Chain A
Amino acid sequence: MIYPMLEVIGLVNRFGTQVVHNGLNMEVRADEVFGIVGGSGTGKSVLLRSILGLQRPQAGIIRIDGRDITKMTMSQLYEVKARYGVTFQQGALYSALTVLENVELPMIEHVEMAPEARDELAMLKIRLAGLPADAAKKYPSQLSGGMIKRAALARALALDPKLLFLDEPTSGLDPISASEFDELILYLQKELRLTVVMITHDLDTIFRTCNRVGVIVDHHMEVDTLEGIVNNPNPWIQSYFHGERARARLERHGT
């Protein structure tokens, strides 16, 4: 049986009496860009944390590349973690390390490699993320918001993952930087044949990059293609894609 790149079946997450997910299903196929959308507090981050193995769900199966991570021991999970890259919303760069050291950290952790080779490979990733070479020696506090996002992306690419998770990749960026970042993601997705899963609120990003979209409503997920989801009858999805802010974009993208 061929498994999809990422598969979530019947996920249940509860905190006390508060239900976050109740039987959430999603499936991400290889080489697609999958967008996760949802209102504030609907558990987008909880979903991501469950998929990343940062918290165990009450029930459900999460398969990454066909392997169920909810049943794994810590050491098995460690191996799986080398196969995907993650960028967090605020970048989560290690503030005491330079950008270069940030990118090298996963390599040091997982791969045996000569320091010179590591330096050059890390530089390659930094350039690939569209950062100038002199950014490598800088500390995160010396970077602009856009550069932090790019540095986080370079670190996520450090181990050449097949699967890339992006948490709000364009939040806090100006529209020009945000659309440049969209193009970068598309470029990398095409060149490196990445599977990208992104949480985003940015309608421009959704329309520009995503092949399919999953919307979290009522503790489960509605998954469809971009055209399909826009025409979904659910009132929340309707107001999300047809609200004041969305209408102008829909016209522009001609969807």
Chain B
Amino acid sequence: MSTLHTVNKSPFQTQTLISCLGHAKAGDSVLMIEDGVYGAMSGSAMSEVVAGMGANVKLFVLGADVSARGIDAGRVAEGVTSVNYEEFVGMAASCDRVQNWL
């Protein structure tokens, strides 16, 4: 039993990612999409918070949205897995529920 959470807001703009990580259960997947990908960057003021709060979940980022924003793939934080659209669909199909954090 697991949930796929998606987050589409920058953690520098809203508390959405923090709230998501605060409610996700161990073993859940958290996928950062759209402006949410800024939460996946290393070396930011949010990096440690995300790594700490996300320690018990699987962290993912949508590669297309990373590329679109000019973020080098090397800037994606350690422990965050980059996925493509097809893998996104696969994740949505294989989990028990999807919860979108808006």
Partners in one complex: no
A interface residue numbers (CB < 8 A to B): none
B residues touching A (Cβ–Cβ < 8 Å)?
A: none
